[in-house]
Structure 1
Amino acid sequence: MNEQYFSNNPQSKHDEKQIETVVNGIELKLITDSGVFSRDRVDYGSQRLIETFSENVSLEDEQRVLELGSGYGPILITLAKGAPGVHYTGVELNERAFDLAKRNAELNQVGAIEWILDDATTVELSDQYDFVLTNPPIRAGKKTVHEFLTHAYKQVKPKGSVWAVIQKKQGAPSLMKHMEDIFGNATKVKQDKGYWIIMSEKEV
């Protein structure tokens, strides 16, 4: 049941399957299940976020990338396959998705990812990150979506950047204003089929 994907412990009956896909030119095998976000395919927004980020950022070894709301892992696994020398951290509240992400990292032979089971709006992380990415859980409501970006500001390093994807009809203009209020800047880097990729840089 999709409405449970942002809950900690989905109650829907397990129905695992493996999908094979290509994201940003990289072949992936991903195990999904009921009760997780976009179980049938890597959702369009996540694909556009990965592609747009990769078009604009050249990751360097030893940099740190954080994803808030990492689901069953497609964004970080794709990035890790393309830039294995980077340190990746994914925070996910949904226990089922968290377990799948660990399995999917092994399935795709990437080892540079730390998965954390926690609430992305309140998690306390000891590190700060060069980049923070998020495809926030729209169905959790506007307040939660905005809290994802508020928390992203706390986790990104000065001169680092935060990248978010959201549909216009699901609140992109409001989220962009929220990011501008927090960071002092916000840029719509790309718009594709109603999806906005919004980026803010932390100035200090």
Structure 2
Amino acid sequence: MGDHFFSADPQSADVRRTVEARIWGRPYVFTTATGVFSRDRLDIGTSVLLRSVEPPTGPGTFLDLGAGYGPIACALAVEAPEATVWAVDVNNRALELTQVNAEVAGVADRVRAALPDDVPDDVRFDQIWSNPAIHIGKPELHKMLLRWLSRLAPDGTAWFVIGKNLGGDSLQRWLTDQGYPSERVGSAKGFRVLRTRRE
């Protein structure tokens, strides 16, 4: 069985390359590698999310859930220089790359790449940003989302991007039914962008 980007320790050779991206008007060069999500470019879903939502600029504690090599986490930290950004992933290679990319972006002191269980229980998030790993299956996806949404600050906001053909509309309804009212704030290239809050 081959590697998945949600493997904890990819067995494929760690072959690295760089990709260029423009996020919120700023140019970035990210190091990527085999065994991580979308190693050849900034994926379309994440691009749609970042084009659909204005960046936060004030202080706060933010979560990039399923961070991959860290493009969202790095961009959040750059745009909000008083914020702390947790970059959570189950893939150790992705977490290492996130640290590399945070160093290059000059925000390594405020980007904390961590496995899910390594985030302290008392941390609450003012914003959650995620292009969630739909391919882990619906039961695991629902479990993951509820785990982290329960740590959203009372006035916090979560931003999700989900492919329409992967259940974006049904996930919006499910989130609302779970006590996290969700509305669509963007739609492009087959993706839905959702804003989710606490009830």
The normalised TM-score by structure 2 is 0.92
Matches within 5 A, 1:77-96: 77-96=74-93
Given the alignment of the two structures, is residue 195 of structure 1 paired with residue 199 of structure 2, yes or no? no
Letter in 2 for 1:117: L
Return 5+ residue gaps in structure 2 as ranges. Answer: none
Given the alignment of the two structures, is residue 168 of structure 1 paired with residue 164 of structure 2, yes or no? yes
**1:2-24 Cα distance to aligned partner (Å, 9 max, x none):** 85101111111221111122122
Answer yes or no: is the 8 Å Cα contact 2:19–2:42 preserved in 1.
no
Match of 1:115 in 2: 113
Distance 2:102 2:22 in 1: 15
**1:64-113 Cα distance to aligned partner (Å, 9 max, x none):** 11121111100011121122111111111001101000011001211311
Distance 2:30 2:128 in 1: 22
Distance 2:141 2:115 in 1: 18
Letter in 1 for 2:113: W
Match of 1:69 in 2: 66
1:58–1:2 Cα change, 3 Å: farther
RMSD across aligned C-alpha pairs, in angstroms? Answer: 1.9
Moved more, 144-153 or 71-80: 144-153
Return 5+ residue gaps in structure 1 as ranges. Answer: none
Letter in 1 for 2:69: Y
Q: How many residues align?
A: 198
Off by >3 Å, runs of 4+ in structure 1: none
Letter in 1 for 2:46: S
The Cα of 1:147 is off from its aligned counterpart by 2.2
1:177 alignment partner, one of 150, 173, 178: 173
Distance 2:141 2:51 in 1: 22
Distance 1:119 1:136 in 2: 17
1:159–1:70 Cα change, 3 Å: same
1:59–1:86 Cα change, 3 Å: same
Matches within 5 A, 1:1-204: 4-54=4-54, 58-61=56-59, 63-111=60-108, 112-118=110-116, 125-203=121-199
**1:42-79 Cα distance to aligned partner (Å, 9 max, x none):** 1111122223232xx64312x11112111110001112
